[in-house]
Copies of this chain bind each other. A is one copy, B any other.
């Protein structure tokens, strides 16, 4: 076997074991009996040890030195493998283990601090996690920017400077739009009532099928926090049911279907290689967001959904389809990122990006984080944070060491804006199709332009070749202005 073939056979097994790890995570959130948590931690720890040993195996370095690529996929496999191997071997095993151990404990302390609304309980753990992540970033950056080194794990090729500049352009327009929307005299009515569980799950399944999710290579279960899991031939989604809020179930389903459809659509020839999954967190989020928002919350599609919901639940007390569309897209003040609408969501992200960038740079100390959060929130959202559980303690990310992850959510929205503009350009009858509940045209376009390529190209290149232009924030901002001006009569 050539060095390339040896590398590929080895990577295939590593990827297969990574899929097993993902399945354990799925099982933990959906099926695992509650008494099994400790044993499961040992099982996952043992498998993580196997994966880490494989990813830093010196044989990999040898193969990567001499391997030759004959075509574009092989070149991409070598490029991804080299980058992963370099990242994995730059971080000392001692540090990787300590990060795993400390973040595992810190997550529990964060959950307790949030439940008790007490930042002081979390502060020493945040300090420990941050110190370790800065050490990791220094090992990875080799003299370069610390934040970029962390960001690179989630969004290869992106830089804090580039994202920071883009966010700087977006922020004033979003703050202005938010203020205008909330000041509009006619506010949409909220949805009221109880919506039975069976009906919600029936509609969620209908939505998943309508959007082309392949149930022969996946399944849908319930979980506290919806997620998608797996690649290739086994990509599972979860949803949840809140009886007073069916949109929670339906739109979280569409979101996870976006992630899952991406994984299901990747070229089967890439399965169990470094190309056999989404190109980055940002590109992944672009698929979940365009399924959920640009398509799922469009006036055309909500017209179809309005009829389906009325068949399932009877009259919704909202008037006509236009009122229903306004209700689906209703903007209301709130503190929580995960509950935010399309207008406010990215402001939540920008706040976190700026703060975590300052933390990693050492310009902001953990003890000053709460104050900085509250000041910034007041500036962008116009209200004071009532208590830390609604502010600095609301997200799990920092407790588990996910610094550099937050901006990929907004990158995903920006990419989704670009893709929607290109899709509308290429598919003039899109609104008619959506109004008929026919998603095939849109999802086929996304599959062929984006999803099938998996991680063959770099993230920004993936979006650029799909759209025919380099990704930028303009299309998203124009889309938001236009959509919410129409709904709120601005």
List residues of chain A with CB under 8 Å of any chain B CB. 12-14, 16-17, 19-20, 23-24, 27, 31-36, 38-40, 42-43, 45-47, 49-50, 214-219, 232-234, 236, 271-272
Contacts and interface: CB of A to CB of B under 8 A. Distances in A.
A365 to B, nearest CB: 39
Contacts of A215: 33
B232 A39 contact: yes
11 contacts: A13-B46, A13-B49, A14-B46, A16-B43, A16-B46, A17-B47, A17-B50, A20-B43, A36-B217, A39-B232, A42-B272
A31 B23 CA distance: 11
A31 to B, nearest CB: 7
B13 A24 contact: no
A384 to B, nearest CB: 43
A409 B43 CA distance: 31
A43 B17 contact: yes
A410 B27 CA distance: 35
A49 B24 CA distance: 18
B39 A271 contact: yes
Given A23-B27, A39-B232, 11 more contacts: A12-B42, A13-B49, A17-B50, A20-B46, A23-B43, A35-B214, A35-B216, A36-B233, A39-B271, A39-B272, A42-B272
Contacts of A36: 217, 233-234
Contacts of A232: 39
A35 B272 contact: no
Contacts of A39: 16, 19, 232-234, 271-272
Which 5 residue pairs are nearest across A and B when measured between Cβ atoms? A36-B234, A16-B46, A35-B217, A39-B233, A35-B216
Contact of A19 (B14, B38, B43, B218): B43
A32 B272 contact: no
A42 B271 CA distance: 11
Contacts of A234: 32-33, 35-36, 39-40
Given A38-B233, A234-B40, A16 B33 contact: no
A400 to B, nearest CB: 22
Nearest to A234: B36
A19 B41 CA distance: 12
A47 B23 CA distance: 13
Nearest to A36: B234
A6 to B, nearest CB: 15
A31 B34 contact: no
Nearest to A219: B33
Given A12-B42, A39-B19, A33 B272 contact: no
Interface centre among A14, A23, A24 (most CB of B within 10 A): A23
A89 B198 CA distance: 55
Contact of A16 (B42, B216, B233): B42
B16 A219 contact: no
Contacts of A233: 33, 35-36, 38-39
Nearest to A232: B39
Contacts of A12: 42, 46
A399 B360 CA distance: 59
Nearest to A51: B50
A482 to B, nearest CB: 40
A218 B46 contact: no
Contacts of A50: 17, 50
A353 B217 CA distance: 41
A214 to B, nearest CB: 7
Contacts of A31: 31, 219
A272 B49 CA distance: 16
Contacts of A49: 13
A276 to B, nearest CB: 10
A274 B223 CA distance: 34
Contacts of A216: 33-35
Contacts of A14: 46
A455 to B, nearest CB: 17
Contacts of A271: 39
Nearest to A49: B13
Contacts of A217: 33, 35-36
